[in-house]
Structure 1
């Protein structure tokens, strides 16, 4: 028994010595802070929608880093061709937050930072994913205005860190806004941009969006982050600070566009055309030629965009019936009328065909399965198309 006790004591001493020999686990560094910085709109057309980025403030790093998904290179080979075809490529760039904010400070665009209350595991995972994504071989992505832009990339990265909780909170809610309404609201300060969006966006842009889909607008995403919660019910946004004041014009608010001014304008233009046909037919021919040229060119752009590009927002656009490419075939007749000559017999047939096709644009208004908000363009252009078809009756036979 004495020998057994000695052996037991010896084993205990060896075990204690082995335990003391093991190196102590290194202390775990604090998790990085994660935030979302949202920038206000600017003057350049690609700045109208605002911008955002994810901020990672690692205690072991030199300072807050901005992960910005909004970079593109205008001098890149083939950029213009890819832009026309809807195959643009943007990239994620990681840079110091102060360096990223320098441009916005210079031009007077505001910036607000929302610090998020993420678990340490979530914060570390998100920081690691962003660092990997920002590597040169991973940084580029296929850009889409509505479904894959700088704001949706921020939204999706946060949702992955939250194990899908952000999407669950936003997907079942809707404010009734659409891609068209949001685009027109933000483009309103630039009339040419407003017209381009309203004419160019087809039925794709008129479906009511969920709040998740509406996150393609940076300010909408920032608003929803304020209302989002963690799994334990606490608010997702821990604090919010203004980094830069908005010195440029603020983001426009929603605005209703009544139909009646468009209808009155369309009827007035039709009456003027009918009056000019009797009093000054050559002047009317010159004005009609300019109108047909504009309609034909716009229609050609819409048709080519549908047939040959990946701009899904342009597809199946019913404005093709109003801005009809067939109008280009009316130009020789307009030139003949301007010179006081009788146009070819096909001219009258084309006039009637253009007017009938414009009238067909009314039919889809009742097809609620795939609606398109273009009633105001019908109200403006349909009376004019019919008036021009009435101005030049079929020539009488000798």
Structure 2
């Protein structure tokens, strides 16, 4: 998918033109599906319309963006960035994805001349500079859903979908994570940033936010009253050669966070043994959890990203910790701070409950840190309660 892709900048250099698609007797229109790549940016694949005849061979796709926009980064963060429809020479597009060792598949659409003409007119109109921009949504308006929505518009909704045999009811989070390795930094970041709104079960139609699912659903679809298959022919242009190289376990989130978790537990053990407290450690923990919590809160309330709402990662990354931060540097704290530590433990328990009953899925790599925080908070409660009673 193109939400996170930088590929658009490269593709824009391949082939820039102002020509419009032309209809001839031998015109074929296909849906091209690009497989996942090695980088997080490429993990979900891509789709586009291919228009091929004696005069041109072009891929029209959705999901590019203008890096020269003066408000690019601000709008991207707010979820208000306009994405663009673009067009590129097919040969250049295929060469680029083959160089990335990404599978390329093509489904030739079973359209008559009138339907082809309507689709080409739609693409030509959409390609006009004043019409190219649209407000992107990761789940409901992206490079994949555009294939479905454009075809349905052109064909007046006359497409009947059959659920693929491989279909299995899953949540949006699971559908995303199926394209990622669970012990990767990309997977961790997505599980932290996206809220419980993506933990509801997706309907079959919703599955088409992923490019590969567009391929699967189109392969089983038919056209209106005629019941003709939507896809006339399927071609595999290029097949990925071997699996992508996986990162080292020693640089993975689970390993790194396990080291940090064990370090927190070890320091806590030493502190308890010596009846002291490492204030610097508590300062770091409260600062980091507060900063992460504030960031998640902003994603929820200060942006238009629909997938970041109702994020229960705030149960362990509590923004209020920024207010309580100054208390961790005192030897004897206010009574309310002890109560706040107890609240933090309760929230960690609530997070576990939310995880167990399926309210929200959390990153497995966080477990070592969550365990370490739990025991650190218990120790601080014991220590501060003991000091306050003296």
* 2:295 alignment partner, one of 293, 296, 301: 301
Change in Cα spacing, 1:308 to 1:301, as seen in structure 2 (3 Å) is same
Contact 1:159 1:167 (8 Å CA) reproduced: no
Structure 1 pair 188–364 and aligned structure 2 pair: CA distance change class (3 A): closer
Note the C-alpha offset of 1:78. 0.5
Cα distance per residue 1:277-302 (max 9 Å; x no partner): 31256675444433333221211111
Match in the other structure for 2:375:
387
Q: Does 1:326 align with 2:320?
A: yes
Deviation (angstroms), 1:188:
2.0
Matches for 1:70-89 after TM superposition, within 5 Å: 70-89=63-82
Q: Give the drift of 1:111.
A: 1.5
Contact preservation (8 Å) 2:183, 2:365 = no
Once the two structures are superposed, residues 36-69 of structure 1 have per-residue CA deviations (whole angstroms, 9 ceiling, x without a partner) of: 111122244322211110012245xx22221111
Task: Supply the distance in 2 between the matched residues of 1:300 and 1:353 (Cα, whole angstroms).
Answer: 18
Distance of 2:356 and 2:95 partners within structure 1: 51
Any idea what the Cα deviations from partners look like across 1:211-230, whole Å, max 9, x if unmatched? Answer: 32111111111122112223
2:110 corresponds to: 117
The number of residues matched between the two structures is: 352
CA contact (8 A) 1:31 1:120 kept: no
TM-score with structure 1 length normalisation?
Answer: 0.77
Q: Deviations over 1:108-140 (max 9, x none)?
A: 333111111112222211111111111111011
Matches within 5 A, 1:1-398: 30=25, 32-59=27-54, 62-166=55-159, 169=162, 175-188=168-181, 191-231=184-224, 232-247=226-241, 249=243, 272=266, 275-279=269-273, 284-336=278-330, 341-362=331-352, 364=354, 371-374=359-362, 383-392=371-380, 393=382, 394=385, 395-398=387-390
Q: SS state of the match for residue 112, structure 1?
A: strand
Q: Do the aligned residues in 2 keep the contact of 1:267 with 1:380 (CA within 8 Å)?
A: yes
Contact preservation (8 Å) 1:90, 1:140: yes
User: How far did 1:382 drift?
Assistant: 5.7
The verdict on how the C-alpha distance between 1:280 and 1:311 changes in structure 2, with shifts beyond 3 A counting, is: farther
Supply the distance in 2 between the matched residues of 1:376 and 1:44 (Cα, whole angstroms). Answer: 21
Q: Is the 8 A contact 1:174 1:208 kept in 2?
A: no
| In structure 2, distance between residues paired with 1:305 and 1:277 | 36
Structure 2: segments with no counterpart, 5+ residues: 1-22, 247-257
User: 1:178-222: per-residue Cα shift (whole Å, max 9, x none)?
Assistant: 221122222328811111111122121111112321111111111
Q: Cα distance 1:397–1:95, how it changes in 2: closer, same or farther (>3 A)?
A: closer
* Bigger Cα Rg: 1
2:73 counterpart SS class = helix
Superposed CA deviations along residues 296-322 of structure 1, whole A, max 9, x for unmatched, are 121111111111101111111111112
Query: Is the Cα–Cα contact under 8 Å of residues 266 and 379 in structure 1 kept in the other structure?
Result: no
Q: Could you tell me how far 1:88 is from its partner in structure 2?
A: 1.7
Structure 1 residues 235, 283: CA separation in 2 closer, same or farther (over 3 Å shift)? farther
RMSD value, Cα: 3.4
The TM-score, its normalising length taken from structure 2, stands at 0.78
CA distance in 2 between partners of 1:389 and 1:306 (Å): 27
Change (3 A) 1:333 1:313: same
Cα pair distance change 1:105/1:384, threshold 3 Å: closer
Judge conservation of contact 2:160–2:222 (CA < 8 Å) in 1.
Answer: no
Q: Specify the SS of the correspondent of 2:197.
A: helix
What is the DSSP-based 3-state SS (H/G/I as helix, E as strand, rest coil) of the residue aligned with 1:221? helix
Distance in 1, matches of 2:333 and 2:31, equals 64
C-alpha displacement at 1:365, in angstroms? 5.9
